[in-house]
Structure 1
Amino acid sequence: MPLNGTNHTVNVFDDSPYFKSLSDLDAWAKSPSNKLKGVMPYHSREVVEGVQAHNRGKLLVCHDYKGGYTESPSALSYTFNFWPYCDTFIYFSHHRITVPPSGWTNAAHRNGVRMLGTLIFESSGEEDCLRLLVGALPKCKTGPAIPHGDTSLPLSPHYAYLLAELAYQRGFDGYLLNFECPLRGRLEQTRILAAWISLLEIELKRRVGSHAEAIWYDSVVLTGDLRWQDRLNHYNLPFFIPSSGFFTNYTWPPHYPSLTAQYFISLDPTHLSRPKSLHNIFVGIDVWGRGSHGGGGFGCYKAISHIDPQFLGLSVALFGQAWTWESEQDKPGWTWDAWWTYERKLWLGPTNESEPITLPPPREGEPECPHGPFLPISSFFVRQPPPNPAALPFFTSFSPGVGRLWFVRGIKVMQTDDGWTDVDKNCSLGDLAWPRVALQWEHGEHEDALPELSSELCMTDAWLGGSSLQLTSSTPGSDAEDAFFRVSGCLFKH
């Protein structure tokens, strides 16, 4: 089409939400494309004062939701709202290359969280898996090449460069590397793969920034066999060494996290390509409970207690956290508001502290492992502030990224029948407002009981956007002449 007096060709791969093969990625790279506008750059968080956060394990959330790309602009969809506890978020799907939607990337970056895409090779991906290492091969017009005595594989930086360029142009921060198909080249192919991971790391940090990550998922081992280990050991160490981090499979028995820690501590630091610590190892937990200790769901705390991010220092990789939505959405009486209550209960605990929590039954055949009462996921991690407002101005409209109406300066300008979802609008909901508003007397001057204050999201009234935070107060009356109270302060802890 004509544009400013020139011919402009639209590359159909410029805005592809994902790529089904490496050849699709090559086709994208053949036409000029520009960095996507409107994607917020990553800004790191400030160090939390008084907390040895650098010695504590971190939280990685892997968002595997119905194949990905399911957000509907004309319906209320799942969104994630616990960024202060999360350090890295992976947008996962079963396409060869998963590109996080820009709205998800903005929501993460707004809170100082890295956003990763996924590079995955499953049962049908063996040919592409080999192509990744040797590069895009030219088509031969004279027939197949004649083999020579040297059977070693070449190592090409081609796809390391393209994947880093893709991350730069779409504004995300790296990849989860999920190689779930056997490597027929055996040791030769795994050796080259480990070297290729180093190339990808270098290209990502060069093109995206020093914060970029390439995280290896526990899958194939050094022999080329597909054998999940459920922990770090000498079979998968060659892939951990060049990567930013290691994401274990989730079917481990209770003693495996401590074995992983012991194995890591036994390693000679000079053998690692860069300094690493226990928090670079993310121990997997499936929230659906498929083979996970504790049975997933509200039993996740049992698995996290063995990983022990606070004292042992291992990190947690939470897989399929949208279980709260998927497992409940077809049940009678399900609404977005019911889900939000259910979701908060898993992450923050119930609004009523005395409310009983139904836990999943122990896995069949698993030895008894005593645990205390339910603990919400957030209780295991440091609540992190968003980036410094001097670097990234802080703004919130108390939006979970969904709504039913839209307001501008308090005036309703849009109304929908089924609601809307726009993850780009997701912002802080007030980290001190849930599950119960944190109240205290000013300067600690009173010994009287604090008034009761509850919080909820209101989607029927707002100043800007689709929602507001509604606080409801209840306090006993008094006949004293000097009786008064004032609710003030902040709903955020920075």
Structure 2
Amino acid sequence: CWPLKTLDAVLNWSLPSDNNDWGPLVRPLVGRGINTTRAGPQCQHLGGAPYETWQRNEVPKTLYCHDMKGGYLDDRFVNGSGQHDAFRFSRWSGIDTFVYFSHSLVTIPPLGWINAGHTHGVPVLGTIITEGAVGHDIWERLLSNEDSIEMFCNNLVLICVQYNFDGYLLNIENHIGQKEIFKLLSFVRLLKSMLNELKPGSTLLWYDSVILPTGQLQWQNKLNDRNKLFFDACDGIFLNYVWNDNDLIESKYNAGNRPFDVYVGIDVFGRGCLGNGGFNTCVAVEAARKLKLSVALFAPGWVHEKQSPDDPFIARELKFWRLISNYLYLSGPSTLPLSTSFCQGYGLAVYRDGLVISQKPWYNLSRQNYQPTDLTGYEGCDSPPVCLLHSIRDAFEGGGCLIVTSCSNQPQITRYVISVHNSVVLDGASNY
């Protein structure tokens, strides 16, 4: 799996040959229940307060934007790799949209990420990005020719259809000439229209970047009259990270009846962001949620990139998501039967029917099974106790299994969220 790096590569794109086509390997996007619940205390004691539920269209959303070292690392291999400790993500129940990000012109999400997201009912988007002088030249050439605009849009949609991902994040990080800026707006409208026609249910998001009417690259850090026409032409806006409370209040007002389509950008690396990112990312998430706005988490792979022998990935990952879990809305599947081995798409061996069939380490997100709604820890991770632990010491299918343990001597429950035929099942109780 690779991106398309040049305008000519996009304009000249054609359907791949059968030998190079991984499109048929993409799983369809499964349905999600219409109901959701806030994350709460894990392994709650029996007799605790019941969980409150809402319909998904009544609550703000969470977008996960994956940016790691330029992208296309071990995740680029259609059949996986032997690097079992490559970056992975499994906490899909609290995520509404996943974006695969790179700095290439057209980022096509790798197969493994599409399949992992689709397995959990999460749409997976690619990215269209232009930057600097090269980006300016791309748009100057493209917007000067209506036939090129139409071909560009058409091929972007065909790529989306061929590889069965669910739309794009559009990020214009360069100046657009004042004479061309409204042509860019027309391009956005055309792309959205063609996506709706050929890929119903797809999503097009606008990144807070160039402005009307000047075409200057001026991040607004809010929704206002300089970027609202782009917002109106798309399914939402991803705000730049250097916002304050007043910016969010103004954004919510300007969004009118679409406040959940405003995604408050939060850089987990902390560049200009409230709380300075990292394990303080929860500070920025809380600020957005106070106004009932959606959030866009940029580069949560920070937990993997900044690990060390004394601060390993699994401990950092659990700590990060524990800190923001109270601000997430959890969704589950909408159809039965549901089966899972809890494999996360990696392991030290490959198991089938409980037997080892290969003793080689492996990594393949396409083989990730459905993951629990509740916050899951890791066996051997020195952290506050949780009653669900992922283990790779044993498995029934794939590379891992789930250990259910007790955090106290009282009867406890752990949750699952399944919505079937307009009803929601929230609690599965077990005395353990």
- Give me the TM-score of the superposition, normalised by structure 2: 0.83
Q: Is residue 198 of structure 2 the alignment partner of residue 207 of structure 1?
A: yes
Consecutive unaligned residues in structure 2, runs of 5 or more: 37-52, 76-80, 379-384, 419-432
Residue matched to 1:218: 208
Distance in 2, Cα, partners of 1:475 & 1:379? 22
Tell me the alpha carbon deviations over residues 363-390 of structure 1, each in whole angstroms, 9 at most, x when there is no partner. Answer: xxxxxxxxxxxxx22211211112x225
Query: What is aligned with 2:313?
Result: 339
Alignment-mate amino acid for residue 346 of structure 1: F
State whether residues 215 and 243 of structure 1, in contact with CA within 8 Å, keep that contact through their aligned partners in structure 2.
Answer: yes
Return the alpha-carbon distance in structure 2 between the equivalents of residues 65 and 83 of structure 1: 18
Tell me which amino acid in the other structure corresponds to 1:383.
L
Q: Distance in 1 between matches of 2:8 and 2:314?
A: 41
Q: What does residue range 325-364 of structure 1 map to in structure 2 within 5 Å?
A: 325-328=304-307, 331-333=308-310, 338-347=312-321, 349=322
Once the two structures are superposed, the pairs formed by residues 473-488 of structure 1 within 5 Å of their partners are 473=406
The yes-or-no answer on 1:381 pairing with 2:374 is no
Matched residue type, 2:354: G
Structure 2 counterpart of 1:126, from 121, 136, 140: 136
Deviations 1:403-438 (A, max 9, x none): 11111111111113xx321111223332236369xx
CA distance 1:192–1:35, shift in 2 (3 Å): farther
Of residues 313, 318, 322 in structure 1, which corresponds to 2:292? 313
Equivalence for 1:166: 159
Counterpart CA distance in 2 for 1:319 and 1:433 is: 21
Question: Match for residue 376 of structure 2?
Answer: 434
> Deviations along 1:128-173, whole A, 9 cap, x unmatched?
22344345xxxxxxxxxxxxxxxxx888321111100000001101
Task: Indicate the SS of the match to 2:356.
Answer: strand
Measured in 1, the distance between the counterparts of 2:408 and 2:128 equals 55
Residues in 2 aligned to 1:71 and 1:196: alpha-carbon distance in whole angstroms: 34
Matched residue of 1:176: which SS? Answer: strand
The 8 Å contact of residues 11 and 151 in structure 2, kept in 1 or not, is answered as no
Does residue 179 of structure 1 match 2:126?
A: no
- How far, CA to CA, are the matches of 1:475 and 1:199 in structure 2? 58
Structure 1 position 244, deviation (Å)? 1.1
Q: CA deviation at 1:290?
A: 0.7
Range with bigger deviation, 158-167 or 256-265: 256-265
Q: What secondary structure does 1:469 align onto? A: strand
Give every structure 1 segment of 4 or more consecutive aligned residues whose post-TM-superposition deviation is greater than 6 Å.
30-35
The separation in 2 between residues aligned to 1:31 and 1:460, in whole angstroms, is: 40
Structure ranking higher in helix proportion? 2
The residue number in structure 2 matching 1:28 is 13
SS at match of 1:125: helix
Asked if the contact 1:432/1:493 (under 8 Å) is kept, the reply is no
Counterpart residue number, 1:439: none
Worse overlay, 22-31 or 283-292: 22-31
CA gap of 1:407–1:154, structure 2 versus 1, over 3 A, is closer
- Give 1:155-304 correspondences, 5 Å limit: 156-183=149-176, 185-186=177-178, 188-209=179-200, 211-222=201-212, 223-265=214-256, 277-304=258-285
The aligned counterpart of 1:81 is 90
1:37 to 12, 15, 24: 24
**3-state DSSP of counterpart to 1:29:** coil
Residue 60 of structure 2 is aligned to residue 57 of structure 1: yes
Change (3 A) 1:295 1:490: closer
- Structure number with greater CO (CA < 8 Å, separation at least 6) is 2
Q: Distance in 1 between matches of 2:24 and 2:148?
A: 34
1:182 positional shift: 0.6
Distance of aligned partners of 1:155 and 1:339 in 2 relative to their CA distance in 1, 3 Å threshold: closer
The structure that has the greater radius of gyration is: 1
Q: 1:17 to 1:394 in 2, by over 3 A?
A: farther
- Tell me the alpha carbon deviations over residues 26-59 of structure 1, each in whole angstroms, 9 at most, x when there is no partner: 3322877778112112234121174143222100
Counting aligned pairs with the same residue, the percent is 32
- Structure 1 stretches lacking a partner, 5+ long: 1-15, 136-152, 266-275, 350-375, 437-451, 477-484
Which residue of the partner structure matches residue 472 of structure 1? 405
1:405 matched to 2:349: yes
CA distance in structure 2 between the aligned counterparts of 1:30 and 1:102, rounded to whole angstroms: 16
Q: Which moved more, 1:51-60 or 1:28-37?
A: 28-37
- Structure 1 residue 490: deviation in Å? 7.0
- Residue of structure 1 in register with 2:382 after alignment: none
- Residue 108 of structure 1, aligned match among 117, 125, 140: 117
Q: What is the CA-CA distance between 1:340 and the residue it aligns to?
A: 1.8
Match of 1:5 in 2: none
- Note closer, same or farther for the CA distance 1:27–1:474 as it changes in structure 2 (3 Å cut): closer
Q: Quick one: distance in 2 between partners of 1:475 and 1:254?
A: 41
Query: 1:126 Cα shift?
Result: 1.6
Maintained 8 Å contact 2:392/2:401? yes
